[in-house]
């Protein structure tokens, strides 16, 4: 049986593409971000760090962290 690694923190970063174009927001584990940043320091933009769950990180990455889905279809 393989030992499982436990992720203690998640991050959200904005990917930079070729020629400085801005890509989408990406979610990864803190240790993955550390490797990405070590390979190309300052190339991508760190948006959020220290997030406890992947679900919370995905919400922050997609911009739906504060949405109230029950109210989203109603007009004022």
Summarize pLDDT for 34-49 with one digit per residue, the tens.
999 999 999 999 999 9
Which domain covers residue 49, as residue numbers?
A: 10-62
Number of structural domains (the chain) is 1
For the CA atoms of 28, 30, 35, 38, the dihedral, rounded to the nearest 10 degrees, stands at 120
Percent of the chain at pLDDT > 90 equals 64
Q: Does residue 15 sit within a domain?
A: yes
Residue 47 inside a domain? The answer is: yes
Structure tokens at 64: 């739906």
Is residue 69 in some structural domain? no
Domain-embedded: residue 1 = no
pTM of the model as a whole:
0.74
The closest alpha carbon to 32, from 11, 6, 51, 15, belongs to: 11
């Amino acid at each position: 049986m393989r030992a499982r690694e436990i992720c203690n923190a998640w991050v959200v970063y904005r990917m930079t593409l070729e020629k400085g174009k801005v890509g989408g927001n990406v979610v990864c584990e803190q240790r993955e971000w550390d490797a990405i940043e070590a390979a190309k320091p300052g190339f991508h933009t760190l948006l959020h760090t220290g997030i406890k769950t992947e679900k919370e990180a995905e919400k922050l990455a997609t911009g739906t962290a504060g949405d109230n889905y029950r109210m989203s279809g109603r007009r004022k």
